[in-house]
Structure 1
Amino acid sequence: MKQLKVLTFSTLFPSSVRPNHGIFVETRLRELIKSGQVESRVVAPVPWFPSSNPRWGEYAKFAATPAREQRNGIDVRHPRYLLAPKVGMTSAPLTLALGARAAVQQLIDEGFDFDVIDAHYYYPDGVAAALLAKWFDKPLTITARGTDLNLIPQHMLPRRMIQWAARRAAASIGVCAALMEVLRGWGHDPARLHVLRNGVDLERFRPWPQTDMRAELGVSGEPLLLSVGHLIERKGHHVAIEALAEIVKQRPGARLVIIGEGEERAALTALAVRLGVADQVRLTGSLPNTELPKWYSAADALLLCSSREGWANVLLESMACGTPVVATDIWGTPEVVALPEAGRLVARRDGASFAAATRDLLAADVDCAATRRYAEGFSWQATTDGQLALFDRVTREARRDA
């Protein structure tokens, strides 16, 4: 198979200013490029903002993002698009496509006449990519990752635009089967629906001696629990704190470390105080992805108390470090946590239920090596092979129909 030229399109892609943003998209692309069969350029638009003054917080990072940069040997462009207040949700696909159009044309003018557009996140990114695919007459694949199909379609106009984009796409990819069931339920052709799960970097995420990691990080706890993700309600860190409050009644040495930053920080701190576990809860703020293996290795269990997830990367990352998980039984999570050595699934998203499942997991004394072996079944190779086969088929069909 000749080397394919792939244009990766997504607002979910890291930059030098936001190195952890959408790192799962970058990881999948890097693994694909390792095959030697794909050449890629990335167009990762960011909303226009007038000032990079730090007082504007996250908004300032939009302005500070370079127009073009190299990340891990990949050429990445960050064109600006207008994200209007209040009406931005419905107008974003068009402004996103218009903002990116010149950057895409410039790639072609420089000699990168790509074979396929590979878009990530169905809305607004996938809809914008469908417009670009139409304008540039290119085949398109769109990967669904979670809230783009399990939350956003609750809004009528975005749902209609998602359905249009799915009809325009040569293939839709879900990181879990549950997401493709949404499109199947809407009547889309099952032959164009594919499941290519995320993998885990088994080199980066591997077990380190728990005692050494606790000493290095300055943490302790019996048990030591971990909750990782943006500090937003959907991630359920408040449920993890409620679970801790139940667990300490029997195991007063229990501790919870929450890694992430976001709007819920003050509320989570107040909740820990109200439940009397403020001294047992530590919020680290956001940490580089490269630091996470130490924390996973230090912990006895990871708690993921989300209300929605497509395919939660933190689950595999934790298991690859030998640490089992306790997670809400939703969407793609049962596809990740499928055996006892992986962890436990929780039907009810409340503190008492998570506490009971955590106690059960800890009592089982799961062998760290068994958890690691389970995670080793989720390397990136199968996903890379699936992408190569899919892109090859899509581009051959496009040439045939031209």
Structure 2
Amino acid sequence: MTLRLLSLSTLYPASLRPGFGRFVARQMEALAARPDWDVTVINPIGLPPLPGALMPRVYRPLLGIPPMERRSGVPVHHPRFRLLPGLSGRLNPALIVRAVLPLARRLHAERPFDMVDAQFFYPDGPAAARIADALGLPYAIKARGSDIHVWGHRPEALRQMTAAAQGAGALLSVSQALADDMADLGLPERAITVHYTGLDHGRFHPRPRAASRAILAERFHIPADGPLVACVGALIAIKGQALAIKALAEPGMEGVSLALAGTGPDEAALRALARQLDVAHRVHFMGALGHDFMPVLMAGASAMVLPSEREGLANVWIEALACGTPLVIPDIGGAREVLMAPAAGRIAAREPAAIARALAALISQPSAPEAVAACAARFSWENNAAMLADVYGKVVAG
């Protein structure tokens, strides 16, 4: 028997932003590839209620996203909902329901669904709960990190999250550490299942480091020799790239280069910091790195550093390990669930000297890439989908 899932996710790729929420898409595509599940995704897109010409620049590209498209065989609908500046945080679940429920009713009438899920706890969770109730269906909600660590500490959002959690057939968390944080907020611990991320081992695997460095040198003008540290993430304060740049100025880090993959509002400040510390010639801003180049960067690096303020369990942690590249990360989220062997890397305080010491240790005493990659062997999209199918099957069965 094939069960049908209606998945609600504000975080999902679209034709004009193919990298946005790609890990959510890979999960849903893996589930849809199974013979026992059929998946339809609704990806609500928030836009201010303004004419196109007056739309803030950041939102204008979203106007060109089609109402519906197929991504790897999965139908993805992109209804628009209103973003109201200053009010949207607490109103977003209701605004999403208003935009999505007519579409959900129509799709359900055409081919009935068996359950609804939300791929982000807020605002998706409360919205999915209301849609599922309107359709008379059970539902599940997944937590990924910032939805708990940010929205879970805002009283109005937490009230809505708690109400949605009480009626859910299952709650999922990307790490045990995040599951503990959910329970600490008062979300029902008995309903929480740890559901680790997946990984495409065909794409992320060890490669000859010299060949990867040659590609990076040709494409991005990164030196082909000498230690290279990768840092992958949006250029925003909570990701901690400033700490990584400061670590380059610490004793023992002479000759080490840093490759920053990502874009964001902090780029100008980070460039200025690198100049101020006289390490600008060793800091390489790569911009938004295409997914095909991500494994090349990771395989070419001696280590990956991501000094984030908070994470659930970052997909880039697992991808780097699978490429044979050890990690230097803080003791946050699921870090200790990933760094379970010495070859996987080091936990370091969010402080430049500590980061520099950890990086220097990994560079001076490298582990074999195959030993590092073995630390990520348990993560796969097939395992991810199998566990999701099992949990969701129980939700449908009641």
| TM-score by shorter chain over 0.5 | yes
The amino acid of 1:81's aligned partner reads F
- Aligned residue for 2:75? 75
- The TM-score, its normalising length taken from structure 1, stands at 0.94
Which of residues 214, 217, 223 in structure 1 aligns to 2:227?
223
Which residue identity does 1:168 align to in structure 2? G
Segment of structure 1 superposing worse, 64-73 or 255-264: 64-73
- Superposition RMSD on alpha carbons, in Å? 1.6
Equivalence for 1:24: 23
Partner of residue 287, structure 1: 289
Task: Check whether the contact 2:125–2:164 (CA below 8 A) recurs between aligned residues.
Answer: yes
2:350: which partner in 1? 349
Matched residue, 2:304? 302
Amino acid at match of 2:275: V
Paired with 1:392 and 1:64, the residues of 2 have a C-alpha distance of 36
Shift in Å, 1:263: 0.7
Matched position secondary structure for 2:235: coil
Is 2:109 aligned against 1:109?
A: yes
* Match of residue 64 from structure 1: 64
Q: Is the 8 A contact 1:315 1:325 kept in 2?
A: yes
CA shift at 1:250, angstroms? 2.8
Return closer, same or farther for 1:51/1:107 CA change in 2, 3 Å cut-off: same
- TM (norm. structure 2) is 0.95
Matched residues in 1 for 2:154 and 2:245: separation?
A: 32
Report the alpha carbon displacement of residue 19 of structure 1 after superposing the two structures with TM: 0.5
For residues 354 and 326 of structure 2, the distance between their equivalents in structure 1, rounded to whole angstroms, comes to 17
TM superposition shift of 1:330:
0.5
Q: How does 1:304-383 map to 2 (within 5 A)?
A: 304-346=306-348, 348-383=349-384
Give the letter aligned to residue 38 of structure 1.
Answer: W
2:343 is paired with a residue whose SS is coil
Between the aligned partners of 2:58 and 2:74, the Cα distance in structure 1 is: 24
What number of residue pairs does the alignment pair up?
392
Determine the C-alpha separation between the residues in 2 that align with 1:152 and 1:340.
Answer: 34
Specify the SS of the correspondent of 1:375.
coil
Matched, 1:388 2:392: no
Distance 1:3 1:278 in 2: 56
How far, CA to CA, are the matches of 1:278 and 1:130 in structure 2? Answer: 49
- Is 1:257–1:281's contact at 8 Å kept on the other side of the alignment? yes
2:237 counterpart residue number? 233
Instruction: Note the C-alpha offset of 1:188.
Output: 4.1
Offset at residue 336 of structure 1 (A): 1.5
Separation in structure 1 between the aligned mates of residue 299 and residue 283 of structure 2, nearest angstrom: 18
Q: Is the 1:69–1:75 contact (alpha carbons within 8 Å) kept by the matching residues of 2?
A: yes
Which residue is equivalent to 2:117?
A: 118
Pick closer, same or farther for the CA change 1:228–1:55 going to 2, 3 Å: farther
Write the distance in 2 (CA, Å) between the matches of 1:321 and 1:56.
39
Supply the distance in 1 between the matched residues of 2:42 and 2:269 (Cα, whole angstroms): 36
SS at match of 1:123: coil
Correspondence for 1:47: 46
Relative to structure 1, the CA distance from residue 212 to residue 234 in structure 2 (aligned partners, 3 Å threshold; closer, same or farther) is same
Q: Does 374-383 or 138-147 show the bigger shift?
A: 374-383
What is the CA distance between 1:110 and its match in structure 2? 2.7
Tell me by how many angstroms 1:185 deviates: 2.7
Matches of 2:354 and 2:67, distance apart in 1: 47
CA contact (8 A) 1:51 1:63 kept: no
Name whichever of 176-185 and 231-240 sits farther off: 176-185
SS at match of 2:29: helix
Query: Structure 1 regions of 5+ residues with no counterpart?
Result: 398-402
Percent identity between matched residues is: 34
Residue 172 (structure 2) aligns with: 173
How far did 1:25 drift?
0.4
Contact map agreement 2:179 2:192 (CA 8 A) in 1: yes
